[in-house]
Amino acid sequence: MTASVEMRGITMSFGANEVLKGIDLVLAPGEVTAMLGANGAGKSTLIKVLSGVNSDYGGDILIGGEPVRIDHPTTARHHGIQAVHQKIADGVVPGLTVAENLLFEGIVNNQVARASSLRGLMPRAREMAAVLELDWPDDLLRKDIYELPIAEQQLLLLCRALVVTPQLLILDEPTSALSEAEAERLFDVIRSLRDKGVAVFYVSHRLAEIDDIADRLLVLRDGVIRSDQSRPFDWGAALHDMLDSGETEARDRSQELRGADEVLHLDQVRLLPKSRPFDLGIRAGEVTGVFGLLGSGGNELAHGMFGSQPFVGGSMTLNAAPFHPKSPADAIEREVYMVPEDRAAGTLIKDWSVAMISTFPFLADVSRLAVLNHPAEAKVGRSVIDEFGVVAQSEDDPVLSLSGGNQQKVVVGRWLRKRPTVMILNEPFQGVDVGARHDLAEKAREVAAAGSAVVVMSTDLEEIMEVSDRVIVLADGNLRFDAYLSDTSRDEILTRLSEVE
């Protein structure tokens, strides 16, 4: 018989940053509890507390009314708590086969006998794969784990979590890599576990999934549970609690820009395999904000326009000429630039200076006959510092020595100084303070006023309302709404986003 898992006054801090601020939560047997929360709300931290990854928490955890201290993942599993985390790479073991990864926990805990050959593991590996009715042949089970597609790695982790019926099953964005058929198979498993009395904690940004599978809905924002609903869910209220902090009002409507000339046109573009095609025109002289929850298609839209990831379907024209970039280099040649969502992984290079980062996409401007002109490079670095208000002693400072906001100013500044035809800013305000956010927003608007088309992708409604003239709402890869901010309101945007199809 499974028991409830209760959290009382759970806190978690990283240095001075208090991420969880006194969470009280009961996860009841035979109930699917779903949680919504924007980036930075504290969802992953909460999951890692429950699963033993974050052991230095405050407050109490009780299972079946008895206090326990979950100080390690093995402790969590001992108490019947199984978690499948969002980052698949955190769960699989490189260098081992698919079969060995399926059996990994059993092997390290001496629950599965160490066989002298891989062949001896096959019968048990096949049994585990059958938990999700996966008919994996032996030749696939013998492959290295990284030869397995991402979706099937996700299914492998689910099989491993379900080999023994848990007290509490935690699923963090479990369908992010799954097809519709695979997701439906997972939902059948969840319903079966619920019927057996298992408590399921389901974290997802996909409203339709939550509406389908959940009995209860929680909203987490800024480390606090803001609402707790039972079915039927009020999605408008949930999204309001999730996204509307009320801290930032939209800009003065008199400052709104409305461009007249369409420079980039998307024709019957499909962002996700299950989404519908749509047309979209991007106009010069205005800032177009693209708003949606994580996984809504904004990332796919940005990378498709920049040539770093092809659209599922559709075509584009740029200044009325066919535009089908096969790589970012093609897009850059046509003056379509992008700041990626992860500046650390996609832009910054260890030990490189501000000047080096500032000039890297345009080395031809500061070199001759393949020889770098260091004074010219330094001049560009200094211009980025001066124009974008970067706090640095000189252009020779290592870019990673700067604060997060100043790093982002360098990354954005290197593109905006060229006055692009289309500038795509994908989550440009992540990890920056309010002051840096305001400075970057003002620079984006200056570039739009000078005639560029600026597109800003964000999962934060306040950011969109601060920087944009026009707002586009995406959900599940579909275009839900398109209006100028002066013609709409925060409530209407949230209502359009909350429409579950």
Neighbours of 451 (CB within 10 A): 13
| φ, ψ dihedrals at 441, nearest 5° | -65, -40
Q: Which two tokens stand for residue 422?
A: 């289309």
**232 cis-preceded (ω within 30 degrees of 0):** yes
Whether residue 267 has pLDDT greater than 70: yes
Q: What is the pLDDT of residue 245?
A: 57
The pLDDT confidence band at residue 312, using thresholds 50, 70 and 90, is very high
Of 147 and 300, the one with more pLDDT: 300
Q: Is the pLDDT of residue 59 over 90?
A: yes
| Structure-token match 């969802």, residue found | 43
8-state DSSP, 398? B
Is residue 80 within 8 A of residue 51, CB to CB? The reply is: no
- In this structure, of 1-10, 132-141, 172-181, the range with the lowest mean pLDDT score is 172-181
pTM (two decimals): 0.74
* Banded model confidence at residue 186, pLDDT cuts 50, 70, 90: confident
**295 burial class (0-12, 13-18, 19+ CB within 10 angstroms)?**
buried
Name, in order, each residue with C-beta under 8 angstroms of 265's C-beta and a sequence gap of 6 or more: 279, 280, 281, 282, 316, 317
Q: State residue 300's pLDDT score.
A: 95
Mean pLDDT rounded to a whole number for the chain: 87
Residues 6+ apart with CB under 8 A from 339: 347, 411, 412, 415, 424, 425, 426, 428
Given pLDDT bands bounded at 50, 70 and 90, which one contains residue 392? confident
Q: What pLDDT is stored for residue 282 in this prediction?
A: 97
Residue 296 is classified by DSSP as S
Backbone phi and psi for residue 344, each to the nearest 5 degrees, phi listed first: -65, -45
pLDDT at 94: 81
Residue closest to 284 by CA, chosen among 323, 252, 318: 318
Output the pLDDT for position 133: 79
Q: Give the model's confidence band at 212: pLDDT under 50 very low, under 70 low, under 90 confident, else very high.
A: very high
Higher pLDDT, 464 or 406: 464
Position 1 confidence tier, pLDDT thresholds 50, 70, 90: low
The larger pLDDT score, comparing residue 79 to residue 392, is at 79
Tell whether the model's pLDDT for residue 250 goes beyond 60: no
DSSP letters spanning 302-326: HHHHHTSS--SEEEEEETTEE---S
What pLDDT, on the 0 to 100 scale, is given for residue 116?
Answer: 52
pLDDT of residue 215: 96
Between CA 152 and CA 307 the distance in angstroms is 27
- The residues facing 66 across adjacent strands are 63
pLDDT, residue 223, reads 92
Residues in contact with 315: Cβ distance below 8 Å, sequence separation at least 6, in sequence order: 266, 267, 268, 269, 322, 324
Q: What is the pLDDT of residue 382?
A: 87
For range 419-437, the mean pLDDT: 83
Q: What is the pLDDT of residues 477-497, one digit of tens each?
A: 999 999 999 999 888 998 888
Query: What single letter denotes the amino acid at residue 27?
Result: L
Share of residues in the chain with pLDDT > 70 (%): 94
Of 436 and 28, the one with more pLDDT:
28
Is 203 within 8 Å of 172 (Cβ atoms)?
Answer: yes
Helix (H, G, I), strand (E, B) or coil at 340: coil
Q: Which residues pair with 307 in a beta bridge?
A: none
Find where tokens 């740029």 sit.
318
Chain segment 7-58, per-residue pLDDT in tens: 999 999 988 889 999 999 999 999 999 999 887 788 989 999 999 999 999 9
pLDDT value at 346 more than 80: no
CA distance 175 to 195: 21
HEC sequence for 455-467: EEEECCHHHHHHH
Q: pLDDT-based confidence at 98, cuts 50/70/90?
A: confident
What is the pLDDT at residue 8? Answer: 96
The CA distance from 349 to 313, in Å, is 33
How sure is the predictor about 418, in pLDDT bands with cuts at 50, 70 and 90?
confident
- What's the CA gap between 42 and 19, in Å, rounded? 6
pLDDT tens digits, 394-404: 888 888 888 77
Residue 194 scores a pLDDT above 80: yes
Q: What is the average per-residue pLDDT within 162-181?
A: 84
Residue 440 has pLDDT above 60, yes or no: yes
What integer pLDDT is reported at residue 115 of this predicted model? 54
Ordered structural domains, the chain, with CATH: 5-243 (3.40.50.300), 250-335+422-501 (3.40.50.300), 344-417 (no CATH)
